[in-house]
Amino acid sequence: MLGQLQGSLGKLDLQDYPPVEKWNPPFCGEIPLSIDAAGQWWYDGSLIKRPALVRLFSRVLKREGDQYFLVTPVEKVQINVVDVPLQVVSWERQDNGYISVNTSCDDHVDISIEHPLEMRFNAASQCDIPYIMIRNNLWAKVQQNVYYQLATELDIKAERAWLQSGDYYADFGPVVE
């Protein structure tokens, strides 16, 4: 099944993002592909160790409600995602004042109104963790080391911590002393 999907994807130009939000192919079932809470991709219990293959699959990932699918113009298969499919692995402040982030699948976006940052409570860690919307309602969890680096950029205003990226302000929550 994975080979068939990979073959279908080989026929697409995936240098840019394909218009998966416009594709509505027939549902072909669920495949044993999953993305764990750390953003690692697994197939049938084995870690996918080829970054190029993970990147390829990430380009045709589509979210519908709380479900995730890999789609091509002719097929749609469901996969399991424990939290979110992407991880923010690095960041950089641009000359224009925006904060640019990079994901584990080579997505590059500026934190902005189009790519907002929101804090979500994580039951396992009992604290809020930042997430960034990357594209088409696909979110990325900010890895802990990046979170700590971004924390050095926070401004405190009215007892709340704010991250400024260009003209966008992300609320990191109340300041706790």
Note the pLDDT of residue 175: 87
Q: CATH number for the domain including 144?
A: 2.30.270.10
Give the pLDDT confidence of 66-109 residue by residue, as tens digits.
Answer: 999 999 999 999 999 999 999 999 999 999 999 999 999 999 99
Q: Tell me: do 37 and 54 sit in the same domain.
A: yes
For residue 48, pLDDT beyond 90: yes
Total structural domains within the chain: 2
Q: Tell me: do 55 and 95 sit in the same domain.
A: no
| Overall average pLDDT of the 45-52 stretch | 95
Residues forming beta bridges with residue 131, ordered by sequence position: 118, 141
Q: Tell me: do 42 and 119 sit in the same domain.
A: no
d(CA 21, CA 146): 29
Quote the DSSP letter at residue 20. Answer: G
Note the pLDDT of residue 79: 98
- The pLDDT confidence band at residue 154, using thresholds 50, 70 and 90, is very high
Note the pLDDT of residue 123: 84
d(CA 62, CA 78): 9
Domain span at residue 58 reads 2-81
Q: CATH number for the domain including 62?
A: 3.10.540.10
Indicate the pTM of the whole model. 0.89
